[in-house]
Amino acid sequence: MADINMSSAGVGSTSAAANATGSTVQLPINLFTRSTNDAIPQSTYLIPASWRRFQLSELINKVLQNNSDNGKKPVPFEFLINGEVLRGSLESWSKKNRGNDEETTIDIEYVRSTLPPQEVGRVEVEDWVSGLSLSRKGYILLSSYLSHLQILPLSSASTSSALYTLSLPTSLGATSCTWVSPPSQNNDILLAAGGVDRLTHVYTIPSLSPDTAQSSPPRELYTLHGHTQPVSTVIASESGKEIVSGSWDGLLNLYALPSTEPDEHQVAAEPLNYLPGQGNKKRRKMEKENPREPIEGLLDNDSTGEGGWRRVPDITFKGHTGRIGGAVWDKADQGKIWSAGWDGSVRGWDLNSGINSVVRQGPFDKSGLCIDQFAANGTLATGNMDRTICLWDTRQATSMISLTLQTTSPIPSIKTHPTSSFTLASATYAGTVQIWDIRSPKNSLFSVSNANRKERKVTKNGKVLGERLLALDWDGEVLVAGGEDGEVGIWNAAGA
């Protein structure tokens, strides 16, 4: 057991002096980390019981020689004991958890701190924000109930200058969005939106160059049919060759996109005036005031002459007995997807065979609203209507819910950190964005809220916007969230 020399550690001589007089209790601790870059020599140290996170962090930086003389900046650390973040002094923790035991060694794991989110901008939208994606670095893709898809450059997002605004051929609203083409593809980029009209609309844009955006207009390339109720989620494979949509009808549809543009439809046109919200007076008035030119090749008695090549699903996955809340492509196996449903289950699907290969049935009142996966270990995370975030370890045949994080509101959107196995962000119906470390599950690390806004905004058509968040994305550096408030909040939120 090593008694730390406080002076040589650079922490100060006052603790050492207090130790010499016996006025400071010392506790034996074992400091360890899973990061090879931050590891210090393994030993059991005697540490003053009054020490908190700051002193422990300062000690580790001194041992690692993170100082200006070595050209390194000190790193802030968090400390976890039995999976919980140390919030007070070692003495407070010891008395609470061990009573008068001052001899048993305390194992303390240290990790680099996640910095608090810093808001850097807001973008106003004329209606609810329903979907967000940061999959292309430097850009925000958003969908809204104004039946719009928009691409916003992050560099000018706060000025609300959209690079593209794509209008869906429906007045019912877009419910979700995704980039389809992989980030490496710079031309003829595909993106998609799910709609209340039961369809998935796939668009092509020439590029993300502002000059091209003005000279070559985007167009809807495919219109994906097959659902009987609104589409709730749309995801695309890494290659951009497949799209999966989930719906309130409880079905997941897989569409394999053709390598070249087709010259015929797979399904006959459906008279849009039979669909609620399509043939109404408002739409007829809008079409009369702003007539649209029909798209070449689509004049086959379609009531609008709009849309893309109509396609049917290649595979339909059946298993959920309620609405599909969310879906995610497996981050290690592109032949599998996962879904969360309002029936309380999480299901894994084999794309080659169409088989429901994994079923994890939770409580039936635990309606799954969204799902994501930790890339590092394959653990699934769901946001639920019962105000919980649940982790599911599907690697074990008998596993169900391995951890539950309690919140104060339903969770409609969730995003795991792209590299960490422990950090995730969530959006709530209470208008709050939270960042969690699952090693400290009792409370979120940080929370930012719009719920304290004094005045509710009213749109041009008299619609009062609420506070519920509906969509969130996080690329590990930038976090965006939006919902009923008609805004997209942008934060710098680096975490690991």
> In this predicted model, what pLDDT tens digit does every residue of 442-466 receive, in sequence order?
888 889 886 545 455 665 555 556 7
pLDDT tens per residue, range 173-227: 999 999 999 999 999 999 999 999 999 999 999 999 877 656 678 999 999 999 9
Q: Are 490 and 480 in contact (CB under 8 A)?
A: yes
E runs forming strands in 36-155:
44-48, 77-81, 84-85, 106-112, 118-124, 129-133, 139-144, 148-153
| Cβ neighbours around 100 below 10 Å, total | 7
- Pure H helices in 216-338: 281-289
- Pure H helices in 199-273: 210-215
185 φ/ψ sector (left φ>0, alpha ψ -120 to 50, else beta): beta
Q: Are 265 and 210 in contact (CB under 8 A)?
A: no
Structure-token match 């601790």, residue found: 29
For residue 158, report the phi and psi dihedrals to the nearest 5 degrees: -70, -15
**pLDDT tier, 294 (very low <50, low <70, confident <90, very high otherwise):** very low
pLDDT tens per residue, range 95-139: 988 887 888 999 999 988 877 899 988 888 888 999 999 999 999
For residue 79, report the phi and psi dihedrals to the nearest 5 degrees: -125, 130
Q: Are 236 and 222 in contact (CB under 8 A)?
A: no
d(CA 110, CA 78): 6
pLDDT of residue 36: 84
DSSP category for residue 117: P
* 463 exposure class (CB count in 10 Å sphere: 0-12, 13-18, 19+): middle
H or E element at residue 419: none
H or E element at residue 17: helix 14-21
**pLDDT tier, 300 (very low <50, low <70, confident <90, very high otherwise):** very low
Highest mean pLDDT among 12-16, 253-257, 361-365, 460-464: 253-257
Q: How far apart are the first and last CA of the chain?
A: 32
pLDDT of residue 459: 59
pTM above 0.85, yes or no: no
d(CA 205, CA 227): 26
The token duo for 347 is: 């299901």
CATH C-level class of 2-112: alpha beta
Specify the CATH number for 118-492; select among 3.40.50.1820, 3.40.1280.10, 2.60.40.2890, 2.130.10.10: 2.130.10.10
Q: How many helices (H) does the chain have, and how many strands (E)?
A: 6, 35
Provide the residue ranges of all domains of the chain, joining segments of one domain with +.
2-112, 118-492
d(CA 56, CA 264): 68
For the chain, what's the residue count?
496
The overall average pLDDT reported for the chain is 84
d(CA 66, CA 77): 13
